[in-house]
Structure 1
Amino acid sequence: MIALLLSLAAMQTAPAVPPMVVIDESDRMRDEPPPHGRIGMSTAWRITDGVPGRTMEFRRRTLHRGAAIGVHPIDHDEVYYVLSGRGEVTSDGRTAILTPGMAAYLYRGAVVGIRQQGDEPLALVISYPLAKPAS
């Protein structure tokens, strides 16, 4: 009974999280240099920014010709999924070519990056967990 009362009290004081958040990516679009080295230019859609209580990041980024997300260590697992274009992904010194429909699953502790290749921009979805839930 005490546990039930404590659970009810916690539910009443916890901030309400909506059952769903619908995001229009056009509201989250901006042109900026890519992270981790500012190599070239990109268009970024920080899709989940501002979502209350989120535990993951979900982003879209298009690397313009010659652009790259520079090599950097990650402290979480991360996924790069290619929508269009061609890219070269690096993880701990190993490289692989990614084309549309391919994903690279990158592991916590690795040193990773991705570079656009060819004539077409490289369009990606990038997703990873947050260290702690967003407020």
Structure 2
Amino acid sequence: MKKISSFYISFIFSLFFIGIQNLASAQSTDTSKFILQNDVNVAKEEPGTHNGGGKTIGYNFFGDAKNLKTVFRKRTLKAGSSIGYHLQKEDEIYYVLSGNGKMKMNGETFSVKPGDAILTRPGSSHSIEPNPNTDLTILIVYGKK
């Protein structure tokens, strides 16, 4: 049986507790108990964000949920696309679901693979792209403004 890293467990628990906190605050004005969404219902073809270019598939989960303070997105970067190099204004987590790619953080480039989680902090700059001839699918989580 494959051992699950403590970082991965902490990451999942963090997402769970963020969700619980948001649901608790939302219940005072929103009477729904949960929202279920599937990739096929939210998938949208988009260019790479932050002027990254190329073709991506964006999945904006719970974008219309009332009082939700967290943005939860999935993005598949098709070969030749990217999220362009940009300045980060809030904490943001990237989690690699599938594929392999390269991330540039503050001028340093490193490889990313499934299971990698990257926390980008305010004031840092970054971009991400798949390796040639492959797709890269990531989760992106950050607080709403």
Contact map agreement 1:91 1:111 (CA 8 A) in 2: yes
Residue identity opposite 2:129 in structure 1: R
SS, match of residue 37 in structure 1 = coil
C-alpha deviation, 1:72, in angstroms: 0.8
**Residue 81 of structure 1 aligns with which residue?**
95
Q: Normalising to structure 1: TM-score of the pair?
A: 0.81
Residue identity opposite 1:70 in structure 2: G
**Structure 1 position 112 matched with structure 2 position 126:** yes
How has the CA–CA distance of structure 1 residues 38 and 95 changed in structure 2, closer, same or farther, with 3 Å as cutoff?
A: closer
C-alpha deviation, 1:80, in angstroms: 1.0
Distance 1:70 1:56 in 2: 22
Contact map agreement 2:51 2:84 (CA 8 A) in 1: yes
Say which one has the larger Rg.
1
Q: Which runs of 5+ in 2 are unaligned?
A: 1-27
Q: Normalising to structure 2: TM-score of the pair?
A: 0.75
Residue identity opposite 1:118 in structure 2: P
User: Identity over aligned residues, as a percent?
Assistant: 27
Distance 1:43 1:59 in 2: 11
Alpha carbon RMSD of aligned pairs, Å? 1.4
Distance 1:125 1:57 in 2: 10
C-alpha deviation, 1:19, in angstroms: 3.0
1:57-68 matches, within 5 Å, as 57-68=71-82
How has the CA–CA distance of structure 1 residues 106 and 25 changed in structure 2, closer, same or farther, with 3 Å as cutoff?
A: same
Aligned length: 118
